[in-house]
Structure 1
Amino acid sequence: MYEIYSQYYENISLDLFCQDMAEKNGVFLVEDRSTKRVVGFSTMKTLDMRNGDKRVKGVFSGDTIIEKEYWGNKALHVAFFLRMIREKLRHPFRPMFWLLISKGYKTYLLMANNFHNYYPNPDRHCEKLEGLVDNYCELLFQPYYCPENKLLDFGGGYTHLKSDVAQITDEMRARNEKIHFFEKRNPSWERGTELPCVGEVSYSLILHYPFSLWRKLRRKTRGTMTAIPAK
C-alpha cells in the first residue's frame, strides 16, 4: 500500500503512513483479479456524531489511491457501496453521512457524481450539510480547519499530489462544471489543502445507486479488478 501511495504523493513517510492507518477502522484493498496484486486502497473510520439535536453516524474516508492504469474501474465503488448498506442497516433509523476530504478533483467527483444530497454542491446550497462539515472538521482537524473558506490547511510541508497527477486543464474546466467548481472552492489544492465534503446516505440513494452503476458498467466494462471489503 505504501509503495502505491509513494508513487502519487509528495511529503510522505512510512511512519506517518502507518500512524494514519492505525487511526482508521478498516481498509479496502483493490486487487488485480488475475495476479492478486494490490493496485489500490481506501481507508475508513466510523464516527458517532451530533448534527443539531440529532445523533448521526459518519463514515469518514481517508486516503484513496488507485494505480493510474486502473482508473475508471468501479470495483472500489461497489465494495464501498456494500459497506455503506451494512453500516446503514446497523442503525436503520439513524441519519448517516459520508465524510470526505479531497486533495484533488477525482476524489470530489466520487461524491459529486454519485450522491443526490451533498456539500459543497455547485447547483444548490444546504445549510444542514454545511453545519455537519463544520462539526466533523472541528472534531477531527480543529487546529487546521479554516471556517471562513471551509478548507483544511495542514501547512506547506503537508502531503500533496505529485505535480503530474490529476492536473486540471482549461479543457476540463470548460467541459466539466464540477471540476471547475472544485478548483474554485479549493484553489490551493496543488499544495495540499483539503476540501471537506459530506454526502447523505439515504435509502433513496441506496435504492438508486445500483441502477446508476449498472448503466455505467454497461458503457465501460473492464473486469480487471476486485475489491476486498474493509474489515
Structure 2
Amino acid sequence: MRKALTASTVRVKKLKRPEIERMYQLFSEYYQNHTLETFEHDLYEKNHVIILRDKHDRSIQGFSTLLRVPLKKAGKNVLGVYSGDTVTNKEYWGSPALGIEFLKYLWKLKMKRPGTAVYWFLISKGYKTYLLMANNFAYHYPRHDQPTPPEYKTLMNEFYAKKFGEHYHADTGIIAYEGRSCALREHVADITPELLQEPRVAFFQKQNPKWQDGHELTCIAKMTVWMPFKYALKKTFQVRRK
C-alpha cells in the first residue's frame, strides 16, 4: 500500500505532550546538535504548526512550525509568515501534502487582507527546503537568474536582523552561529554532482557553501491571490505528462 499523508494546521498551544514528543523524535532523526529544550523554545514561540499524519494509521510523520510577523514596507503594513523547524519522514518524501496545506494557510491570510502584501520568510539548511520555495513561488529571493530587489532586501534585513541579531550577516544573507549548531544529519540531503546540474541547486550551494555546518540561507517569497491556482495547474500538467 502506497504511503500517503494528510495535513492539518493547528495552534501550537493546543498540541498535546505525546504529539510534541513524537515531533521531537522525528526531528532528531534528521537533525543533529540540538536539545529538547531548544526544540520546545522554538516551537512555543510559533503561532501554528502544520501536522502531517499518515493517512491510514494517523501517526505524525512530519510538521512545519509557523509564526506570523507584522512588518512595514514603504510605510505600509505587510504581513510576514516565518517557517521554523520543518521535517518530513523520508518514507513520505514527494508527498504534496505540506506544500498544499501551506499554500492554503497563506491564501487564507491573503484573502482576509486582500489589500495587504503577504510574504514568506524561510531559512534553509538544505537544498530541498530552498527548492520548495524556488520551484513554486514566482516572486522569491535570492535566486540564480536575477538580483534581489532593494525593497525585498530591506524587508529581509529588518526581519532577520531583529530575530537573529549578530548571527545574521546581511552581506551574504547567511545565518551562522559560533561552534556547533543544529544541522542536517549526514546523507539526509547530500548535494551530488548530478544535482549540481540543476541551476537552483548549484545556486544554493554557491550561496550557502557551509550548509553542512548548519549555516542557513535566508529567503523571502511573495504570496499572491493567484498562487494556489497556478500551483494546481502546474501539478495537473505534471500528472498528465506521466
TM-score by length of 2: 0.87
What is the rounded CA distance, in whole Å, between the counterparts of 1:2 and 1:167 in structure 2?
22
Any stretches of 5+ residues in structure 1 without a counterpart?
Answer: 221-231
Q: Aligned residues: percent identity?
A: 37
For 1:13-24, what aligned pairs fall within 5 Å after superposition? 13-24=35-46
Question: Which letter maps to 2:44?
Answer: A
Question: What does residue 9 of structure 1 align with?
Answer: 31
- Does 1:131 pair with 2:154? yes
2:176 alignment partner in structure 1: 153
**Match of residue 188, structure 1, among 207, 210, 215:** 210
Q: Supply the AA of the counterpart residue of 1:154.
A: Y
Partners of 1:150 and 1:39 lie apart in 2 by 31
Query: 2: CA distance between counterparts of 1:216 and 1:133?
Result: 33
Q: What displacement does 1:130 show?
A: 1.9
Query: What SS does the aligned partner of 2:187 have?
Result: coil
Distance 2:231 2:126 in 1: 23
The number of equivalent residue pairs is 219
1:166–1:37 CA distance, 2 compared to 1 (3 A): same
- Cα pair 1:111 1:199 within 8 Å, conserved: yes
- For 2:211 and 2:228, how far apart are their aligned partners in 1? 31
Structure with higher RCO (Cα < 8 A, 6+ apart) = 1
Q: Which moved more, 1:111-120 or 1:153-162?
A: 153-162
Decide which of 171, 178, 193 is 1:170's aligned counterpart: 193
**1:13-39 CA deviation, whole Å, 9 max, x = no partner?**
111111111000011110110111111
Residue 219 (structure 1) shift: 5.8
Corresponding residue SS for 1:61: strand
Distance of aligned partners of 1:46 and 1:150 in 2 relative to their CA distance in 1, 3 Å threshold: same
Where has structure 1 moved over 6 Å in runs of 4 or more? Answer: none
Partners in 1 of 2:241 and 2:96 — Cα distance? Answer: 12
Root-mean-square deviation (CA, aligned residues, Å) is: 1.4
- 2-side partners of 1:214 and 1:100: how far apart? 26
1:30 and 1:76 in contact (8 A); partners too: yes
